Structure 1
Amino acid sequence: MKKSAYLKVMLGAGALAVITACGGEENLNDDNNAGAENNNDNNNTEEASGDDVTLELYSSMTAEGERGEFEDLIAEFEEENPNISIEANFPGGSYEDQLRVMMAADDVPDLFDTHGWSQLRYGEYVRDLSGMDWVDDLDEQMEDIVTDEDGKVYTYPMNQAQDGVIYNEDVLDEHGIEPPTNWDDFREALETIRDESGGQVAPLWIPGGDDWTLAQMVDQMMTPMFETHPDHDYTDEFQDGSFDWSNYEPMGELMLGLHEDDLLNQDVLTAQFAQAPEIMASGQAGFMFIVGSIGPDAQEVNPDANIGLVPTPAYHDGDDPSWIGGERNTISISEDADHPEEAEKFIEFMTEDEPATRIAEATNVDSALEHIEPDAFYSEYYDRYSDVEVIPYFDRVHLPSGMWDVMATTTAELLSDGDVEGAAQTMGSEYERLREEDDGEDDLDDIDEEDIEDFEDEDNE
């Protein structure tokens, strides 16, 4: 399936400056080529002497099934290449913090996952992959996201996200609800479930005890609210810092209204993400703004459960729904990798038909390579809504680094205290603070020296 190409904002031009690489970008390709030649000489010597090579890999994968498949593929690569070992690490929720410490210590892993920030956060730390064969097969949408205006390819995206809203088909069928694609129909569907289920089914279930799920919904809804409708497109204002944050109040009213009208689960602020498969499998929820492995995990709990997926609903009249996406799991090569040829060899292995298909199916999303058509859990729905455009995550393009956590905590506070105006003010003040912190500079200076020393001690051990 080929997705529609859509990218209103070029990620390399006009985006918020987050890293210092922007100033020296024009010399990166020359530096990379020179570095590659030196490393090639070293690697040829190593191969001739039969030396073994160990590559350190860090991945942000958290789901057990996804990690298991990736580890199986790593083992198969090692079997095919007995002189190359890969030391795989899966830090889970601490992934981002660990990578920041590694960057501050100038000790980035040979291979690592840029988890949606290949250019803005990690751009100066990764090698250019544009010379690799698989680049020509990149989906057009994904090529735009991981390639800058000079042609540098920052990462290999193993898969690509297309986030929308999952739903229990049996719950919708019971109440005569068609999968909604705009906000008015979506809210009407929630109200129908509330009124007809007698409180036994949460219309929209959010595990806000893990507050990143609140940020997930807000981030998805910022796209239709502030970007895709031409009369409500504030992206330029977000980019240049002039956005009037009083315009954010409708988002606060949307979230608070769902809570006050009993359209969310009563335990929205304490429910845990780990409960999601059981909740969806047992028909205790109609909709969730979390996709990923929840569908297949729910079917493992209850094989008879029918889980569907619909794009993120349009918010303004006359607008269309959207897939919210971008790269999900990636493999980049460190700019300072000691063994770049071996690292490229692993990426080449992962782009072969079987590994590329297996990783897409294990992560239940589409491949970033055009010729790969995985039998993923949601493939039916990606095909059904193949005309819906895929739009990059709002925070990755239009907000400064750190706003995800702000969206999470501010939304949790809003649902607790009901202060819509205060939520908008907090979002605005934090946006300004984070923009000033970025201001063309990386945000690594605030990392505790003890953290760096601890990391270096562990690395030496």
Structure 2
Amino acid sequence: MLKKWKVSLALTLVSAIAISGCSQRPETPSTAPSSGKESSNSNSNSNSSTPKKTLSMMMNVADQPVQDMYRQIINDFTKENPDIAVNIQFPGSAYENNMKVKMAANDLPDIFDTHGWAQVRYGEYLADLREEPWVTQLTDTIKNVVTDKAGKVYALPISEAKDGIMYNVDMLKKYNVEPPQTFDELIAAAEKIKKESGGKTTPFFFSGIDESTIGTYFGYFANALLINTANNSAEDLLNNTFDWNKWTVLPEKLLDIKKRGLINEDFLTAKRSDLPGVFAEEKVAFVMLAPSFVDAVHKLKPDMKVGLMPIPAMSASDKPAFSGGERNTMGVWKDSKNIPEAKKLMAFFAKPENLSKISNITKLQPGLKGVASKHVLTEYYEKYASNRVLPYFDRVYLPNGMWSVMSKSGTELLSGRITSKEYSETMKREVQRLKKN
């Protein structure tokens, strides 16, 4: 996987300099524009001493309230450590391309966000953090994501993703529907809601313009179908011996959902930005987006209760599971001249009170144990604490570049331009092509 990433990096370097890129994961869309500004927190306190070291820091954080919390924590750090300045940047959608350029030049920030790719993409650039005091607190679900078999720890997980399906709590109660445990129960619930709402509610929302909404369906249920306890295809996917005919189940089920009239009719022209509004108007019941979606809904309807459930299992013999892994992290560049200072700042962020502040804003789980959080999704994380968290499907089982293929092919499928079988053939062909690179 590392080889393919290096080749991809070389091929995209020139265009990366000229244009800004987009995040591969659909769970990280911006709900508020990034300022794009550099923020220096070196002397934001009354101590007049001149900083002896300046740390460069780059984070893949788009939401303004979260950026502000990072700055606040850094201000607290520099008050305690006036000899260290911190220059933090939030490049927004340009983050990945900026990092590609910096990796090619081997000139990275002292601290940077690995945003889901600590081992595969950034591994060779990162210092080993296994001796840091917070390592013993890594949660059971994130430990293997940021730690390799040799014991190297690649990053501090500021927040851990546990993505599932969000839903209108009062709507499910109104129609006497329990959070579905299986895919079949999900479809049955959707049909019940549509029927008893008199057609007002079309349970699912997809956007052919923002194709990641369709890609997310495939990412979620690929785990449910192929990485389950009864019929696990993980090794076949990793060894390139997977029978892609098995994939056809996923596009067939999506077409069945469309045939039943359970998705928005305007899926080709609808935008992802439309979703908070139609959800607030109770025109949509189930949503496949990151937890930041809750804030967008509450801006429109503050009292609406939004629930979170793990992704329903494809088989009645299996159990629902979240899709996740890294969300926001901090890694240290191995060639940094300021490694001790960088680790000191990282340890400050790892304090329970600081991770708690970030968790309460992001609605995400902290990546360390012993960190209390209290927000609108806390009760659901607690309720489903024992459910598995399966790594994002495309990050582990598909070569780099397949997220776009998966999303675009989904749009082609819903538009009637390709069949379910042709979708699977496209997946097989593109996986083989990208693995050769």
TM-score by length of 1: 0.81
Per the alignment, residue 296 of structure 1 pairs with 295
Secondary structure of the 1:88 match is strand
The CA deviation string for residues 86-144 of structure 1, in whole angstroms up to 9 with x for no partner, is 22222223322221222112222211111111111110011111111111111122112
Per the alignment, residue 99 of structure 1 pairs with 99
Which AA in structure 1 matches 2:158? M
Q: Displacement of 1:194 after TM fit?
A: 2.2
Q: Residues 375 and 191 (structure 1 numbering): CA distance in 2 closer, same or farther, change over 3 Å? A: same
Per the alignment, residue 369 of structure 2 pairs with 370
Q: Displacement of 1:382 after TM fit?
A: 1.2
CA distance in 2, matches of 1:263, 1:340: 53
CA distance in 2, matches of 1:323, 1:181: 12
Q: Residues 268 and 74 (structure 1 numbering): CA distance in 2 closer, same or farther, change over 3 Å? A: farther
Q: Displacement of 1:151 after TM fit?
A: 1.1
1:56-95 matched pairs, under 5 angstroms: 56-95=56-95
Per the alignment, residue 430 of structure 1 pairs with 430
Q: Residues 290 and 336 (structure 1 numbering): CA distance in 2 closer, same or farther, change over 3 Å? A: same
Per the alignment, residue 415 of structure 1 pairs with 414
Asked if 1 retains the 8 angstrom alpha-carbon contact of 2:280 and 2:304, the reply is yes
Measured on the aligned residues, the alpha-carbon RMSD in Å equals 1.9
Secondary structure of the 1:265 match is coil
Per the alignment, residue 53 of structure 2 pairs with 53
- The answer to whether structure 1 residue 330 and structure 2 residue 329 are counterparts is yes
Which AA in structure 2 matches 1:289? M
The CA deviation string for residues 320-368 of structure 1, in whole angstroms up to 9 with x for no partner, is 1101111110000112212111111110110112111111111101111
1:345-360 matched pairs, under 5 angstroms: 345-360=344-359
- The answer to whether structure 1 residue 387 and structure 2 residue 386 are counterparts is yes
Q: Displacement of 1:50 after TM fit?
A: 6.2
1:22-171 matched pairs, under 5 angstroms: 52-171=52-171
Which AA in structure 1 matches 2:177? I
The CA deviation string for residues 164-201 of structure 1, in whole angstroms up to 9 with x for no partner, is 10001122222221111110110011111222223322
CA distance in 1, matches of 2:404, 2:82: 42
CA distance in 2, matches of 1:246, 1:94: 37
CA distance in 2, matches of 1:176, 1:337: 57
Q: Structure 1 runs of 4+ off > 6 angstroms? A: none
Q: Displacement of 1:51 after TM fit?
A: 5.3
CA distance in 2, matches of 1:100, 1:419: 36
1:257-268 matched pairs, under 5 angstroms: 257-268=256-267
Q: Displacement of 1:318 after TM fit?
A: 1.0
Secondary structure of the 2:120 match is coil
Task: Report the structure, 1 or 2, having the larger helix content.
Answer: 1
Per the alignment, residue 454 of structure 1 pairs with none
Q: Displacement of 1:272 after TM fit?
A: 2.4
Q: Residues 318 and 236 (structure 1 numbering): CA distance in 2 closer, same or farther, change over 3 Å? A: same
Q: Residues 72 and 206 (structure 1 numbering): CA distance in 2 closer, same or farther, change over 3 Å? A: farther
Asked if 2 retains the 8 angstrom alpha-carbon contact of 1:16 and 1:239, the reply is no
CA distance in 2, matches of 1:248, 1:372: 39
Q: Displacement of 1:376 after TM fit?
A: 3.1
Which AA in structure 1 matches 2:409? T
- The answer to whether structure 1 residue 253 and structure 2 residue 252 are counterparts is yes
Alignment coverage as a number of residue pairs: 394
TM-score by length of 2: 0.85
CA distance in 2, matches of 1:413, 1:209: 12
Secondary structure of the 1:160 match is strand
Asked if 2 retains the 8 angstrom alpha-carbon contact of 1:74 and 1:86, the reply is yes
**Fraction of identical pairs, as percent:** 34
CA distance in 1, matches of 2:372, 2:275: 28
CA distance in 2, matches of 1:276, 1:63: 17
CA distance in 2, matches of 1:282, 1:88: 39
Asked if 1 retains the 8 angstrom alpha-carbon contact of 2:5 and 2:400, the reply is no
CA distance in 1, matches of 2:177, 2:98: 45
Asked if 2 retains the 8 angstrom alpha-carbon contact of 1:207 and 1:276, the reply is no
Q: Residues 75 and 271 (structure 1 numbering): CA distance in 2 closer, same or farther, change over 3 Å? A: farther
Asked if 1 retains the 8 angstrom alpha-carbon contact of 2:50 and 2:82, the reply is no
CA distance in 2, matches of 1:266, 1:66: 35
Per the alignment, residue 5 of structure 1 pairs with none
Which AA in structure 2 matches 1:389? R
Q: Displacement of 1:312 after TM fit?
A: 0.3
Which AA in structure 2 matches 1:79? K
Per the alignment, residue 211 of structure 2 pairs with 211
Q: Displacement of 1:229 after TM fit?
A: 3.5
- The answer to whether structure 1 residue 175 and structure 2 residue 175 are counterparts is yes
CA distance in 2, matches of 1:227, 1:264: 26
Secondary structure of the 2:177 match is coil
Q: Displacement of 1:418 after TM fit?
A: 4.6
Instruction: Name the stretch that deviates more: 152-161 or 94-103.
Output: 94-103
- The answer to whether structure 1 residue 199 and structure 2 residue 174 are counterparts is no
Which AA in structure 2 matches 1:275? D
Q: Residues 265 and 65 (structure 1 numbering): CA distance in 2 closer, same or farther, change over 3 Å? A: farther
CA distance in 2, matches of 1:270, 1:90: 30
Instruction: Name the stretch that deviates more: 104-113 or 363-372.
Output: 104-113
Which AA in structure 2 matches 1:254? K
Which AA in structure 1 matches 2:323? I
The CA deviation string for residues 275-320 of structure 1, in whole angstroms up to 9 with x for no partner, is 3322222222100011321123312321221111111000023111
CA distance in 2, matches of 1:186, 1:206: 16
CA distance in 2, matches of 1:94, 1:433: 27
Secondary structure of the 2:315 match is coil
Any stretches of 5+ residues in structure 2 without a counterpart?
7-48
Instruction: Name the stretch that deviates more: 306-315 or 375-384.
Output: 375-384
Asked if 2 retains the 8 angstrom alpha-carbon contact of 1:256 and 1:418, the reply is no
